[in-house]
Amino acid sequence: MKTINLYELKKMQTEFPKKTLKSSDESADFIRNFYGDDLEIYESMFILMLNRKNDTIGYAKISQGGICGTVVDVRLIAKYAVDSLATSVILAHNHPSGNTNPSEQDKAITSKIKKALELLDITLLDHIILTVDNYYSFADNGF
């Protein structure tokens, strides 16, 4: 007998704090809560999902890599955005080096994710690069 997988959409309640985000500064501060002591150890990426009022509705860790990079799968980002019924998302990843400047790979993946989400009518509001004491906002810098 062959088996198949059952997929379903359901909402599960957690102790996730709800907050209305109005700036990249607020977003960076909020997203810092997802990172433990690992901001300077390895690179990882998170997605923050929001509703039409820019209220946070959920987050997910997309990837965790090494000291200077992590692999990001656009399909996972789209899955979490769609499953949460988000109308917009904010991406965030850290640079353990302490350098907030985006790499060419950072720019390329941001553009790729933005285009993919647009097909689903989901807006990429920002991509934030975090370090221990600073951040870089793609939105604030016109990207």
Residues 6+ apart with CB under 8 A from 3: none
In this predicted model, what pLDDT tens digit does every residue of 72-123 receive, in sequence order? 999 999 999 999 999 999 999 999 999 999 999 999 999 999 999 999 999 9
SS3 31: helix
Q: What does 34-62 look like in DSSP terms, one character per residue?
A: T--GGGGT--EEEEEEE-TT-BEEEEEEE
Domain boundaries, the chain: 24-137
Lowest average pLDDT, out of 1-15, 38-52, 88-102, goes to 1-15
Q: Which fold has domain 24-137?
A: Cytidine Deaminase; domain 2 (3.40.140)
Give the model's pLDDT for residue 7: 60
Q: What is the pTM of this model?
A: 0.89
